[in-house]
Amino acid sequence: MNPVPPLSRPEKFPPALWPSRRRVLLSGAAGAVWVATGARAALYPEKPVKIIVPFAPGAGTDAMGRLLAQKLGELLNVSVVVDNKTGASGAIGAQFVAQSPPDGYTLLLVAAPYTTVPAVLPTAGYDPMSSFTNIGMVAQGPLMWACHKDLPVNNLAELVAYAKTRPGQLNYGSAGAGGINHLVLEQLKAQQGVSIVHIPYRGIAPATVDMVGGQIHVLTGTIPALAPLVRDGRIKALAVTTGQRHPMFPQVPGLAEQNLADLTALNYFGLVAPKGTPSDVVERLNQALVKVTAMPDVQARLKNDALEAAPAGVAYMDKFIRSDLSAWQKVVRQQGIKIDQL
C-alpha cells in the first residue's frame, strides 16, 4: 500500500486561516466559558441571598427591604433575608457590600443617602458609579416641605420671600448632615439666595417633634411621615419636591406652579450588587425585580407610602444614579459644604 501523502494547504486559504492547536484550544476554552456562564445563569441562586439594609430596623428603608426580600424569595424560590448594617448615614452598609464577593448573593438596598453621602463626603468609602453594578430601581417619590403652624407663610414661594427679609432668623431641621433633607435646604439656599440656619438631628423624627413644639421653623420629610401632622393642623405643608401636585395631598402645590421647578428632588429605592457581578446573574435579578414592581399588592403598598414604581431597567437606573449624584455634587460645590465625618 502506498503511504498516505502529506496534506497540502490549498492556495486559496492563506496559512493564517489554517487551524492551529492553539486556536483549537482557545475555541474550546471559549465554548467552556459559554457553557459555564449558561450553567451559572440556570443554577443561580443556589443558596440564600442577603439584602443589606444600611439603616436600622423599623425605618422606611427597612420596611422596603423586607418587602423586596419576601417577594424576591417567592420568585427565585430561595430564602432572601435582610441584614441591617447601620452607621454613617448608610455608608457602613454600602462599604460592606462593595467589598463583598461579586456573586449575586450579597445585595444592597439603596435610597437617597446612597448618592447624597458621597456627594458631600468623598471619603465615604464607596463610589456609586464605580463600586457597584446596578440591578434596578424599585420606587421613587417626593418629599414634602413643611413648617410650624404659626409661621406666617402658606407655600414655599412665600417662605422664600419671608426668609429673604429675615436673613439668618429662620432655622431648618434635618435628619443629619449630608442627607437628602440637608441638601434640599442647601439647594434652596443656593438657588434662591436665602439664609436659613441648618440644625442637624440624629434622624428626622426628633426634628419633627421639635418643629411641632416650635423650636424648629421648617423641614422636609416623607409624605407618609408628615401626613398625620398636616391633617391634624399641627404643621403646615408648603410644597412637594416635584413639579406637580401629589395625589395624596392635592391641595399642596408642586414646585412648577411656584416657579421653583429647579428645586425638584426625589427620594428613591433601588437594588445594587458589588461591581463585577456576572451580567447573567444581574439580568436574572433584574427580571425578578421587574415582576415584583408590577405586582398589584406591591403597587398598592407603594401608593400608600406616597411612592410609585420606578422603571426597573438597568439602563434607567444607571442614568438616574449618575444624574442624582451629579446634581448633589453641584449643590455641595456651590455651597462650599465640607464634612469630615457623618
Q: Residue 31 has what pLDDT?
A: 47
Q: What superfamily does domain 46-140+267-335 belong to in CATH?
A: Bordetella uptake gene, domain 1 (3.40.190.150)
Classified as helix, coil or strand, 170 is: strand
* Cβ contacts of 228 within 8 Å, gap of 6 or more: none
pLDDT for 40: 55
Is a pLDDT exceeding 70 seen at residue 63? Answer: yes
d(CA 273, CA 79): 17
Cα 318 from Cα 282, distance rounded (Å): 13
Alpha helix ranges (H) inside the chain = 21-43, 60-76, 91-98, 113-120, 156-164, 180-192, 204-213, 223-231, 279-294, 296-304, 314-335
Q: Please tell me the pTM assigned to this model.
A: 0.85
224 burial class (0-12, 13-18, 19+ CB within 10 angstroms)?
Answer: middle
Q: Confirm if 62 and 53 have CB atoms less than 8 A apart.
A: yes
Q: What is the mean pLDDT of the chain?
A: 89
* CA dihedral of 48, 87, 331, 164, whole degrees rounded to 10: 130
Domain boundaries, the chain: 46-140+267-335, 142-263
Confidence of residue 41 (pLDDT cuts 50, 70, 90): low
Which stretches within 49-147 are classed as H helix? 60-76, 91-98, 113-120
Q: Is the peptide bond before 15 cis (omega within 30 degrees of 0)?
A: no
Residue 2's pLDDT is 39
- pLDDT (tens digit per residue) in 270-314: 999 999 999 999 999 999 999 999 999 999 999 999 999 999 899
CATH 3.30.70.3460 fits 142-263, yes or no: no
Q: How far apart are CA 199 and CA 207, in angstroms?
A: 9
- pLDDT tens digit string along 322-337? 999 999 999 999 999 9
pLDDT of residue 276: 98
The answer for residues whose C-beta is within 8 angstroms of residue 104's C-beta and 6 or more apart is 44, 45, 49, 273, 277, 278, 281, 282, 284, 285
Backbone angles phi, psi at 13, to 5 degrees: -110, 110
Distance of alpha carbon 35 from alpha carbon 54, whole angstroms: 36
Read off φ and ψ for residue 329, nearest 5 degrees. Answer: -65, -35
User: Are 46-140+267-335 and 142-263 equal in CATH topology?
Assistant: yes
Taking 90 as the threshold, does the pLDDT of residue 73 lie above it? yes
* pLDDT computed for residue 342 by the predictor: 66
pLDDT score of 12 more than 70? no
Query: Which of the two residues, 50 and 88, has the higher pLDDT score?
Result: 50
Give mean pLDDT, residues 177-198: 95
CA atoms within 13 A on the CB side of 248: 24
Res 6 pLDDT > 80: no
The reported pLDDT for the residue numbered 325 is: 97
Q: What band does 58 get if pLDDT is binned at 50, 70 and 90?
A: confident
Mean pLDDT value of segment 17-38: 44
Q: Is the pLDDT of residue 13 over 90?
A: no
What confidence tier does 8 reach under pLDDT thresholds 50, 70, 90? very low
Give the pLDDT mean for 179-187.
96
